Structure 1
Amino acid sequence: MKYVLLLVFALSLQLGVAQDKNTKDLDSILESMPKSEGLISTYFEDEKLYFKFPEEVLEKDLLMVTRLKQLPANYSAYTNAGSKTSEQMIHFVKVGNSIDLVQVLTTNIADEEDPISLSVAQNNLNPILASFPIKSEEGDDFVIEVSSFFNADSPSFNIVPDRLKKEYKIGKADDKRSRINAVKSFPQNTEITHTLTFPTGNPPRGNSTSTFTFQINHSIIALPEDKMQVRYEDSRVGWFGIRKYDYSSDALKADEVRLIRRWRLEPKDEKAYARGELTEPKKPIVYYLDPATPKKWRTYFIQGIEDWNSAFEKAGFKNAIEARVAPTKKEDPDFSPEDVRFSTVRYVASTTRNAVGPSVSDPRTGEIIESDIIWYHNHLRSYRNRYLLETGAANPKARSLNTPEEEIGEMMRRVISHEVGHALGLPHNMKASSAYDVESLRSGRFTQKMGIAATIMDYARYNYVAQPGDENIRFVRQLGPYDDYAIEWGYRYFPNSTPEQEREILESFVDERSTNPLYMFGGRGNDPDAQTEDVGDNSVKASTYGLSNLKIVADNLIEWTTPTGENYDDLEELYGEMLGVYRRYIYHVVSVVGGVHETLLHKGQDGIPYKVVDKADQENALDFLSENVWTPQYWLVDKDLVSKFAETGKLESLIRINKGVLNRLTSARRLKLMWDTHSTLAGNGLSPQELLNMLTEDIIYSRTAPDQVERELQKHLVVQLIELADEEDLPLELKGHSLSLQNELLSDFKTRAGSEDAELKAHYSYIVSLLEKAQTEEK
């Protein structure tokens, strides 16, 4: 026994000596490596990366944000340098001789003093993303090696979504062509940049290497020790939020709680703020312009960002948001757009025609920490084209593809304002465009003051209502009264008030305003007042004005797009988009049929939350469609225009649009919804049977000598009626009504089939055969 003890003692001495030697060897290695001190001190050289952090960082609330810094060409339309791929709260946790990297789940919550908090913890175990052996422990400091973790395609990074892995047949990351590039630590964050390379079996066109290489940036940042006070959502005011389930709620359930996402704005001088004086915030919201932003556009970008200061003044803050040009490397070598301490407006060289406004927020409270507005270069093209098509009839400045710089700049300014609105916490508000009377959009005095919609957060880009001869019209959107209202609701500062007390104050604020159309909020749904790309409170009237203008544009499209000596490529592009504008105006009216007005209300407010669109309004919409769709719009396929670029003609395009409109109106989903809402919701609407009767009258019975376009539409309606009778989910009475219409049409078409006109005779005989075949199959 004595010998065994001695042997164990000797082995332990050897092990201790070995561990001590390994620690000394590591210390020696670290001393020779470049070091960056900060939240997590880092040692990085020759693709070896070590983290060294004090015990106080263990189990500290951290946020890890992963972004693409560089990516392959033609990879994905809405993915670019700066795109965020993951955002997760993490902890470093010491477990024995290892440090675990744990993702912290924050959705389910409970009061720590409440016994149910034990169950919440047991049923929401945090996943372990990685585990690292402790290489060295010096007092309260721990050293781990993280090289392999950042050189791998960790699922938690979500670098390449599963959808794209399947589409491009992407394999595993190639270790030999993947590496850590750079590491930098700061007092509140640590930045790691690395490269991942993947083989791909089905690369996009132009990629002959069958390889995708990405450069990725990870930001690990310390979340605020002093948590921002939360603000509870009010569904009547549009706001991005985070959802939590409170198991300590007094409600007899796991109570869903929604907190809004907003920046922390606190007045420098609280006494002055309390007196109602405009006060600067302790920390303003600052955006840096990407150095890649062309100099001629920078002024407009700055204006678009700082336009929101007028809204913040309604919340009591002045100079709350500002724009700066990003410093050069010489001015600030530590500045990086990927660093989450800096919010930026990124200018992306891409053929994508869009802009976006994402942000990063504290998952515990909703505090927005950073955001990156992204402008895609080719978005200029979208705005140039639509400016001409939608306003050219009444706006001489729009009658060219060489749009004046100040006009394009104004459009860019408003796009940036829209995206900054998202980054401030505001979602789209499609209801706002219906706040203004259509006729007011023809008034210079009104539009110059109020804009063309009650918010910049709607998709109401241009005033297509104003007519030739209307004077001093504003054609481009701007911030409106809803923006002032929403920002005041979200950012008004209440010192010494609890979230519950704030909620009570703010509910009264909304109660007094939310039924006023200027302050209404709404999504798309089935509400014709909450559509994208529309303006005004009456879709039929607005689209009538819009089509009147579009006909003028069509007559002048060659002159306005094609200078002498040029080919017709631009004309062809604008023509295709003109058909899209026509379709959009038509679909604005289609949404009236079977629509339901939605008004977000709380009990005690006057009004009815859901009410079907009045029958007279729906019939008016159908009259509009009869005149502007079912009656062929040959001005859209004018020979002098189409012959300049189309080898095969465009009649089929017109027919396709008509069929699409009919499909929307006669879809089983719409008819079933109308059948339900007509019987159960407030208001006097149109029944689905009445809709089918009116369509049959307008498309078939009223057209005694249909031309080729009308004949195609008649055949399509008959096919739709036949298919409706076979639709399983359709109520029996609607199926029966479809069969009844088929019987009536069969009798009528048999009579018409005796026509002496050969084309009409063939048309009617074909429809008779369709209906007889359907009857045979039904039996």
Structure 2
Amino acid sequence: MKRTIITSMLLSLILLSSSCKTTRDAVAAKSKPSTEKSSKKKPKFKSYSKVITSDAVTDDGLFKTHQVDEDFFYEIPTDLLEKDMLWVTRIAQIPSNLGGGYMNAGSKTNQQVVSWQRFQDKILLKVKSYSEVALDETAAINNSVKVNNYEPTMYAFDIQAFSKDSTAVVVNVTKFFNSDVPSISGLSPRLRKQYKVRSLDKSRSFINSVKSFPENIEVKQDFTFTASEPPSNGSVGSISMQVNQSMILLPEVAMQPRLYDPRVGFFTVGQIDYSSKALKADEKTYIRRWRLEPKDPEAYARGELVEPIKPIVYYLDPGTPENLKEYIKQGIEDWQKPFETAGFKNAIIAKDAPTLEEDPEFSPEDIRYSVVRYVASTTRNAVGPSVSDPRSGEIIESDIIWYHNHLRSYRNRYLLETGAANPSARTLDTDAKEIGEMMRQVIAHEVGHALGFPHNMAASYAYDVEDYRDGEFTQKNGIAASLMDYARYNYIAQPGDKNIRFVRQMGPYDHYAANWGYRVIPNATSPEQETATLNGWIMQKANDPVYKFGRQSSRFDPQSQTEAIGNDPIKASTYGVKNLKYVALNLPQWTSQKTDNYDDLEELYRELLGVYSRYVGHVVTNVGGVNEDLKKPTQSGPVYSTVDKKTQKESVEWIKNNVIETPTWLVDKKIVQNINPDGYFDVLRSVQVRHLNSLLSHDRIGRLINSETVDTDYYSALDMLQDVRKAVFSSSKVDIYKRNIQRAYVDRLNYLMTETPRRSTYNVAQSDVRALVRGELKALQSTLRSKRNASSSKVNRYHYEDLLARVDLILNPR
């Protein structure tokens, strides 16, 4: 009985427990989502149609670009991830005076190679460098190059969606283009500091347009920065500008580079190749040039003229004045002849920009187009920048910049430098055809830069000074062997010389350099396989000065001087100064007497002082001068040789006669008393002192000391210092001008005794410089005492006493 009761109780408890569990499970079932529903996660990416809606405005090209309301999206094909693209930032519209007049609509502010890369759920915009590479990508060191040159990330984008066929990723680029990303902002750190830029005002900044083309994408942004000291419209307290971003797909296979040889002038790109088999990283330098490939390689190889597959085309800015278009086109197409020397016909072409009706997509900022831009600016300049592939040196695009007021510079120089021998230059209203010819040559010069050619400052040294007075010679040869020299006018020709060409033109060196850089060498499949042929072309011309290249940086070389012509600076400057005296005498008649005001007279007089100063500087370079003749070891003779003693001594004598002995012709009362109330004596002093200081410079004295180590018959530093001291203090007539230069001389000796230049090729303090200067100061003391005692002028006695006190203070500082 008892067992039956216990069994019954246990059964009841089991049933109750089962009933409670069923109730709990039912409640739990109601309060918890189903297992099937809880297993679904929120998708990482939105569907394509949710991001790129039916309202999207789409532009198909390199990437598809979409605008949805105020947002912009890039649809990046996955097969274009990791591909190299060139990103170029340009100013499309610019406020007045930004950059001090040397920036303009079209100015490039940055260029960089980028690639789009996927990392997890993001797309990274990476900036790449080709300055350090392993050209042999199979070499083990290639990995070391990568890990020791990690690419910076410009921006990281969240992946929004994938295309419907999953072949492209979609990112929102709105925030990126509306942000102040320094490398693409258009404002350099220097300009930000100069104008006290605080921040980008996002309320006044926006994306203007996004356009996609087959190989590039163009974006225009309107930026407004808050700035305490903007370059113009200061009351607004901001800088507004429009910036264009160009991104172009670089060729999958880079153009075959051509190795640089310093004996032929080219702009360059450089790489350090760590995969070289040399016992160090191999520095490789390639020339910058356009990709010109013959349409018919077989005909080209036979020596026939062949058109290139893709010619170089320049479009004229729609804002170009109609009366100048003819000359600009001629300047561009003048390079057709040198390209013919390289085997190409119609290699470079000038065209008018298409009208809006002809091509509504045309934009001067579009990286597909090279444009000669005509800039409404008071700046007097023209430039020829270009954009190139850093992997190979291939020039992708270039813009020639012509500033409106630049023609005034050429009119002024034409009058000042040729007016004595050239009657047609003696006017403020220069003949339109002559102005056009000047513009043509300037455009051709700037196009030369855009083709890869730097200045060749040795080209004018190729011709004898007397050749410039020969009409037949100048008409045939111009005034330099290359248009790329800074030789603008024939300032040597004298009154009465007949049939003279006064303006520069294309020369034989331009044909030679174009052939060397652009001629395709058949069967050469690497840069190294070209070198023997290229060297052979150089050696054929090696002893002819017409084909010599002279670097602009060679400030010590009298053969390679800016604005100089002729192979004898003393003789050329003598002719030049003689002509300037004639011009100075007639300047009022050619200017103020025609205009009935003194504005042009003042402008031209100040420029005349600059012209005179250049002529003097050409002679100064002879002193301590070193000729640079770039050579390979297989060529005879040294690369560097000292200017001979006789020429140096004659140069100091010329400086004495034309600078230290007062050039009073520069202080013409008919000029100075009509343009300035005072300071006439100081105008001349500043010109004289500039060249005295240049003559007595640490680097020049150092080169003279150096000549003692390599020459047997040399012009020593002591010779020069003694000759200059005697020149400054030899004159019996001492007036305000002479007192000025004597004080300047003592001040300069003080500088040489007490100052050390920041950059010097030798240790000044432990050289002979200060010993020589101390000796000159002591010799000067005796001269000053003698002159003081012999002087009948109280002013001059005071002057000499003052100089003695200055010298004593230098020798015995307190």
Q: TM-score range by the shorter chain?
A: over 0.9
Give the corresponding residue for 1:579.
Answer: 609
Give the corresponding residue for 2:95.
Answer: 72
Give the deviation of 1:45 after TM superposition: 4.6
The 3-state SS of whatever aligns with 1:243 is strand
* Residues 1:126 and 2:155 are matched in the alignment: no
* Aligned 8 A contact 2:122 2:159 in 1: yes
Give the deviation of 1:203 after TM superposition: 2.0
5 and 530 in structure 1: CA distance in 2 versus 1, 3 angstrom threshold: farther
- TM-score with structure 1 setting the length: 0.96
The partner residue of 1:591 within 616, 621, 637 is: 621
- Structure 2 unaligned regions, length at least 5: 1-27, 757-763
Which residue identity does 1:159 align to in structure 2?
Answer: G
* Aligned 8 A contact 2:95 2:232 in 1: no
* Residues 1:771 and 2:796 are matched in the alignment: no
Give the corresponding residue for 1:294.
Answer: 321
* Aligned 8 A contact 1:153 1:159 in 2: no
- Structure 1 unaligned regions, length at least 5: none
Give the corresponding residue for 2:709.
Answer: 680
Give the corresponding residue for 2:74.
Answer: 51
The partner residue of 2:785 within 750, 758, 774 is: 750
Give the deviation of 1:521 after TM superposition: 1.0
Give the deviation of 1:512 after TM superposition: 2.0
333 and 687 in structure 1: CA distance in 2 versus 1, 3 angstrom threshold: same
Which residue identity does 1:743 align to in structure 2?
Answer: K
Which residue identity does 2:312 align to in structure 1?
Answer: I
Cα deviation code 1:575-621 (max 9, x no counterpart): 11111111111111111111100000001112221001111000111
Superposition pairs of residues 154-165 of structure 1, within 5 angstroms: 154-165=181-192
Give the corresponding residue for 1:693.
Answer: 722
Rounded to whole Å, the distance in 1 between the matches of 2:133 and 2:253 is 19
Which residue identity does 2:137 align to in structure 1?
Answer: E
Rounded to whole Å, the distance in 1 between the matches of 2:410 and 2:111 is 32
Which residue identity does 2:84 align to in structure 1?
Answer: D
Superposition pairs of residues 621-636 of structure 1, within 5 angstroms: 621-636=651-666
Rounded to whole Å, the distance in 2 between the matches of 1:32 and 1:429 is 58
Give the corresponding residue for 1:513.
Answer: 541
* Aligned 8 A contact 2:45 2:159 in 1: no
Which residue identity does 2:689 align to in structure 1?
Answer: K
* Aligned 8 A contact 2:317 2:353 in 1: yes
5 and 94 in structure 1: CA distance in 2 versus 1, 3 angstrom threshold: farther
* Residues 1:35 and 2:58 are matched in the alignment: yes
Give the corresponding residue for 1:191.
Answer: 218
Rounded to whole Å, the distance in 2 between the matches of 1:618 and 1:52 is 69
Which residue identity does 2:616 align to in structure 1?
Answer: I
Identity %: 48
151 and 470 in structure 1: CA distance in 2 versus 1, 3 angstrom threshold: same
Give the deviation of 1:722 after TM superposition: 3.4
Give the deviation of 1:565 after TM superposition: 5.7
Cα deviation code 1:422-451 (max 9, x no counterpart): 110101111111111111011111111111
The partner residue of 1:238 within 265, 272, 277 is: 265
628 and 13 in structure 1: CA distance in 2 versus 1, 3 angstrom threshold: same
* Residues 1:484 and 2:506 are matched in the alignment: no
* Residues 1:646 and 2:679 are matched in the alignment: no
* Aligned 8 A contact 2:55 2:68 in 1: no
The 3-state SS of whatever aligns with 2:155 is strand
Cα deviation code 1:244-300 (max 9, x no counterpart): 001111211001000111111111111211111111111111000001000000000
Rounded to whole Å, the distance in 2 between the matches of 1:131 and 1:233 is 38
Cα deviation code 1:632-682 (max 9, x no counterpart): 11111111221222211522110111111111111223212321x213345
Rounded to whole Å, the distance in 2 between the matches of 1:436 and 1:8 is 95
Give the deviation of 1:41 after TM superposition: 0.8
* Residues 1:87 and 2:117 are matched in the alignment: no
* Aligned 8 A contact 2:91 2:107 in 1: yes
642 and 33 in structure 1: CA distance in 2 versus 1, 3 angstrom threshold: same
Give the corresponding residue for 1:558.
Answer: 588
Give the deviation of 1:301 after TM superposition: 0.2
The 3-state SS of whatever aligns with 1:567 is coil
The partner residue of 1:460 within 483, 487, 510 is: 487
- TM-score with structure 2 setting the length: 0.92
Give the deviation of 1:764 after TM superposition: 1.9
558 and 679 in structure 1: CA distance in 2 versus 1, 3 angstrom threshold: same
Give the corresponding residue for 2:796.
Answer: 760
Rounded to whole Å, the distance in 2 between the matches of 1:773 and 1:124 is 56
Rounded to whole Å, the distance in 1 between the matches of 2:302 and 2:109 is 44
How many residues are matched?
Answer: 772
* Aligned 8 A contact 1:593 1:621 in 2: yes
Rounded to whole Å, the distance in 1 between the matches of 2:475 and 2:728 is 42
Give the corresponding residue for 2:6.
Answer: none
Indicate the structure (1 or 2) with the bigger Cα radius of gyration: 2
Give the corresponding residue for 1:102.
Answer: 126
* Residues 1:703 and 2:731 are matched in the alignment: yes
358 and 5 in structure 1: CA distance in 2 versus 1, 3 angstrom threshold: farther
The 3-state SS of whatever aligns with 1:544 is helix
568 and 11 in structure 1: CA distance in 2 versus 1, 3 angstrom threshold: farther
Rounded to whole Å, the distance in 1 between the matches of 2:341 and 2:722 is 52
The 3-state SS of whatever aligns with 1:725 is helix
Give the deviation of 1:82 after TM superposition: 0.3
Give the corresponding residue for 1:319.
Answer: 346
Rounded to whole Å, the distance in 2 between the matches of 1:121 and 1:325 is 46
* Residues 1:114 and 2:139 are matched in the alignment: yes
Give the deviation of 1:23 after TM superposition: 4.4
Give the corresponding residue for 1:200.
Answer: 227
Superposition pairs of residues 225-264 of structure 1, within 5 angstroms: 225-264=252-291
* Aligned 8 A contact 2:56 2:69 in 1: no
Give the corresponding residue for 1:440.
Answer: 467
* Aligned 8 A contact 2:461 2:565 in 1: yes
**Larger mean Cα displacement after TM superposition, 523-532 or 228-237:** 523-532
Cα deviation code 1:372-408 (max 9, x no counterpart): 1010001011111111000011111111111111111
* Aligned 8 A contact 1:611 1:682 in 2: no
Give the deviation of 1:165 after TM superposition: 0.7
Rounded to whole Å, the distance in 1 between the matches of 2:201 and 2:80 is 33
The 3-state SS of whatever aligns with 1:327 is coil
Give the deviation of 1:733 after TM superposition: 3.1
* Aligned 8 A contact 1:246 1:257 in 2: yes
CA RMSD in angstroms comes to 1.9
218 and 683 in structure 1: CA distance in 2 versus 1, 3 angstrom threshold: farther
